[in-house]
Amino acid sequence: MPPAVQETVRQLVDLSPVLTELGGRFAAAGFEAHLVGGSVRDALLSAGSGTAQVPGDLDITTDARPEQTLEVLRGWASSTWNTGIAFGTVGAEVRGVRLEITTFRADRYDRESRNPEVAWGTSLVEDLARRDFTVNAMAVSLGPDRTVTDPFGGLRDLLVKRLRTPGAAVDSFADDPLRMLRAVRFVAQLGLTPDDEVVAAMTSMAGELARITPERVNAELSKTLLQDSPRAALELFVDSGLADVVLPELPALRMEIDEHHQHKDVYSHSLTVLEQAIALEKADPDAESPDLVLRLAALLHDVGKPATRRHEPRGRVSFHHHEVVGAKLVRKRLTALRYPKDVVEAVARLTFLHLRFHGYGRGEWTDSAVRRYVTDAGDLLSRLHKLVRSDSTTRNKKRAAALSATYDSLEERIAVLSEAENLARVRPDLDGNAIMEILGIPPGREVGEAWTFLKDLRLERGPLDPADAEAELRAWWERRNGVDSSA
């Protein structure tokens, strides 16, 4: 490692009083302590960008055993926790800084699960050799000398944007298949390009991902999607075969284009929609960013197309009701990946609604149809706007401009109606208590039916005054119960 870089890393460590004190405490007790892994990598990256800073959460490795580490921390750390102590890790917090301190490891894996047979290591280099990638296998001593250790060329790889494993990639991934998904994430997060050995190992060992719990897959996939530019990472995810194992609906979009080229490459289209949705999300000062729900919906909105593709006369291709099928597939897959229920339902609803706008034509929708569009979208309306706009990937500039102008028109109508009617909170003109009083009925299913009728009426005709709403309710009640009002 060049002397200038070593000096930069030393200075970064000295920026953190907690690290300086921690190193002193371990040294006084006769132990080594080193800042290691992603902490060093990110410190080097921040130094290279001219924004030198020590990451907030710090990973430390030491030759001290866990019980010895706890003794070093006693009376200094504001809190410690032992949830990872079976794997040699002690957690601590010092003046708001979180630390994970792990004893040197030389683990062995049974290669049937991700759980290692924990074995204490005897040296720093031995510990670094078991890490996932070279860019995470660098360390800087917290002792007085601040020695930088980089036995596998991690800094060089970081500088040339290369992703390699410290040892043979097949051995690394056999030990822990989750590392293959981490490789995908690092392509997006760090802009790294995996070397041929890494890609070959991922491709040949993709099936090993079946050993990983859905929750861990979900976490890595989400981290990838939440990066600024995830497209190259997702292409690696699909091309390597990893997606076939954990998200098969995505590679299924690579349908063979028919001989007449009557439809787009749906896979490539979906990646472009994702890129455009991210751009719109970032441009909206009022939007959550990064937005996992929007990004999942952008990526998966067309997953119903393979199952609904039909070859029509004159070489045409149709995908009738792919939004309905797609919503069901999204719900099933995201549930299997253990996404929270609110995320699953939001992505499924956006998938179901993403085609609704195309019925708008040249603005022929009635006010009732506009109200239903807003009401069906609910609190997802802002995301639906972005998804629909992103779904236009035509290269025909005239058509793209026309679609954008048409959606502008719809948003303007929504704004006008919202100002007049508060569409975000459409409710019947009579509440449940009024319904029960007017109809003389107790709480129950009939009240719900009446409430639904009045809400549909509100969407169809807009706000009614109480007298008109009551008259409509009484007429509906008579029809429902087979009463002839003219008798």
pLDDT in tens, 463-485: 888 888 889 889 999 888 876 54
**Among candidate residues 98, 12, 3, 20, the one with its CA nearest the CA of residue 49:** 12
Strand 139-141 versus strand 33-36 pairing type: antiparallel
Which strand (E) or helix (H) includes residue 149?
strand 148-149
- The span from the CA of 7 to the CA of 69, in Å, is 28
Instruction: Enumerate residue ranges in the chain where pLDDT < 70.
Output: 1-6, 8-10, 12, 47-56, 107-117, 256-264, 420-426, 483-487
266-283 and 292-300 helices, crossing angle to 10°: 160
Q: Say if residues 327 and 348 touch (Cβ distance below 8 Å).
A: yes
- The span from the CA of 42 to the CA of 52, in Å, is 9
**Among candidate residues 259, 27, 215, 255, the one with its CA nearest the CA of residue 114:** 215
Q: What is the pLDDT of residue 260?
A: 40
Q: What 8-state DSSP symbol labels residue 64?
A: S
The phi, psi pair for 116, rounded to 5°, reads -80, 155
The single residue listed with the structure tokens 């035509």 is 394
- The span from the CA of 175 to the CA of 172, in Å, is 5
Q: What is the pLDDT of residue 150?
A: 93
- The span from the CA of 299 to the CA of 163, in Å, is 25
**Among candidate residues 358, 258, 216, the one with its CA nearest the CA of residue 301:** 358
pLDDT in tens, 148-196: 899 999 999 999 999 999 999 999 999 999 999 999 999 999 999 999 9
- The span from the CA of 219 to the CA of 221, in Å, is 6
- The span from the CA of 257 to the CA of 239, in Å, is 18
Average confidence score pLDDT of the chain: 88
Q: Say if residues 391 and 407 touch (Cβ distance below 8 Å).
A: no
- The span from the CA of 356 to the CA of 391, in Å, is 12
**Among candidate residues 348, 262, 355, the one with its CA nearest the CA of residue 310:** 262
Q: Say if residues 179 and 132 touch (Cβ distance below 8 Å).
A: yes
- The span from the CA of 487 to the CA of 484, in Å, is 6
Entry pTM: 0.82
